[in-house]
Amino acid sequence: MNTTIVRNRHTREVAAPPAAISDVLATTGQPGCLVSPTGWPPDMRIRLDGPVVPGSAGGHGGIGYRVESVERGHHLVFRMSPDDSLRGVHRFDLEPLGDGTRVAHRLEGSVAGIARVWWPIVRRFHDAYIEAVFDNIEQAATGTVRRTSRPPHWMRAWNRIDAARQRWTPSRRLTQVAAVTVPAVVAGIGVVHLNWAGGGHWPASSRRDLAEAVIGWSTMPPDWSSGVVGIGLVGGAAGLAATALGGRRLAPRVAGLMTAGLLARGTVFWVIDGLGAPGRYRTLSLALYTPLTLALGIGAAAIVRSSRPQQPAQHPDQQRSLT
C-alpha cells in the first residue's frame, strides 16, 4: 500500500519544571482534562478509557491510539491504531531548560490510502491543534500564556460549522422519513442518469431539449459521464439505505461521501446558477434541482448522524464559544 511518511515537530518553552508539565499531561483524556483545547468541535476532545498509564486507549477526531509509555518529568508516548489511515506515534517530550521546560510534541509515522490526498489540509489543522494544546499546558502549569496561538479565520469558521454539525440531533420523525425517501429518490435519479448514458432523453422530448434543461447547453456531455454520475448515485443510495438499516464499516463511509456530495452540489450550484446560468436551466436549477439536492443532503445527513453514537457530555471548559 502506498504511504506518505509523516514527521511533524512542535516545541514551546514553558516557565515551569518538567514535573509540573507532567502533572498537566496526567489529566489527558480524564474528567477535567487540562490538555484538550477549547474552541474545537466536540470530537476533538481527547478521550481515554482509563488513567494515563500504558494500555489505556482512546483518541480524538477520527484517530485512535493507546498510551504506550509514560515517565513523569520525561515523556508521554501514544501509539496510533494500526487499522487507521494515520499510523505511528505521537509523543510529548520534556527537556529541562534552566528553571523551565522545553515541551516538544512529535508526530512520526505514515499516512496510507486516500488519506494521503487530505494530509496537507489535515496537517494545517494538526499544527493549529497542537499549538492550542501547548497554550493549555502553559496556562495550567504557569497560570498564564505569554503568546496565545490563534488559528486562521477560515479554520475557525470550519470549526464552528463542524461543531454545529456534531451537536445537531435530527428528530426521530425526520430520520424515519429520510431513511425511506432519500435512498429511493437518490437511486431514482441515478437510474435516470444511467438512462441518459444509454442514449435516452426522458423526461425531455429530445436530447437537445434535455441538454438545455439539465446543463444549459445545446448538447449533452459524453454518455460515459452520465454513466459515472448514475453509478455514483446508485452506489450512494445503497450506502445510505445500508446505513439506515444499521450497517457498519463501509456503508457509513459511502453514505458520508454521498451526503457531502449532495450538500456541496446544492450549495455551490445555488451560488453559480444565481450568478447567471443560461436560460431555462437557471430557472429549473434554482426552483427544483438545487432545493431538491439540499433537501436530500439534509435528509442524508440525518441518516448518517443518527447512525453514530452521541458524543459524551463535555467538560464545561469545552463549551466556550468557538472564537
Q: pLDDT digits over 32-84, tens only?
A: 999 999 889 999 999 999 999 999 999 998 889 999 999 999 999 999 988 77
- Could you tell me the pLDDT band of residue 309, with boundaries at 50, 70 and 90? low
Mean pLDDT of 214-226: 93
The predicted structure's pLDDT at residue 312: 44
- Note the pLDDT tens digit of each residue in 173-187: 999 999 999 999 999
- Could you tell me the pLDDT band of residue 2, with boundaries at 50, 70 and 90? confident
Residues pairing with 100 in the sheet: 97
Residue 302 has pLDDT above 90, yes or no: yes
Cα–Cα distance measured from residue 132 to residue 151, given in angstroms and rounded to the nearest whole number:
9
- Could you tell me the pLDDT band of residue 118, with boundaries at 50, 70 and 90? confident
The predicted structure's pLDDT at residue 323: 36
Residue 321 has pLDDT above 70, yes or no: no
Percent of the chain at pLDDT exceeding 70? 95
Nearest to 308 by CA among 260, 236, 246: 246
Mean pLDDT of 273-289: 84
- Could you tell me the pLDDT band of residue 310, with boundaries at 50, 70 and 90? low
Residue 322 has pLDDT above 50, yes or no: no
Terminal Cα distance for the chain, rounded: 40
Cα–Cα distance measured from residue 285 to residue 306, given in angstroms and rounded to the nearest whole number:
30
The secondary structure of 32-100 as a DSSP string is T-SSSPSSS-GGGS-EESSSSSTT-EEEETTEEEEEEEEETTTEEEEEE-TTSSEEEEEEEEEEEETTE
Q: Is domain 3-167 classified as CATH 3.40.50.150? A: no
Cα–Cα distance measured from residue 23 to residue 76, given in angstroms and rounded to the nearest whole number:
11
Cα–Cα distance measured from residue 317 to residue 175, given in angstroms and rounded to the nearest whole number:
31
Residue 233 has pLDDT above 70, yes or no: yes
Average pLDDT, the chain: 91
The answer, yes or no, to whether the previous bond of 203 is cis (omega within 30 of 0) is yes
Q: Which residue has the cell 477520527?
A: 62
DSSP 8-state code for residue 289: I
The number of residues in the chain equals 323
Mean pLDDT of 185-199: 97
Q: What is the largest CA-CA distance in the chain?
A: 82
Predicted structure pTM score:
0.71
Residue 183 is placed in which grid cell?
Answer: 435512498
Higher pLDDT, 63 or 136: 136
The predicted structure's pLDDT at residue 276: 73
- 215 contacts: CB under 8 Å, gap ≥ 6: 221, 281
Cα–Cα distance measured from residue 194 to residue 210, given in angstroms and rounded to the nearest whole number:
14
For residues 58-91, one letter each, b for 16 or more C-beta atoms within 10 angstroms of the residue's C-beta and e for the rest, the string is: bbbbebbbbbeebeeeebbbbbbeeebbbbbebb
Percent of the chain at pLDDT exceeding 90? 75
- Phi, psi (degrees; rounded to nearest 5) at 49: -90, 10
Nearest to 98 by CA among 24, 11, 10, 17: 17
Q: What region, left, alpha or beta, does residue 88 occupy, with left being phi > 0 and alpha being psi -120 to 50 degrees?
A: left
Q: How do the domains of the chain map onto residue ranges?
A: 3-167, 172-306
- Phi, psi (degrees; rounded to nearest 5) at 168: -70, 125
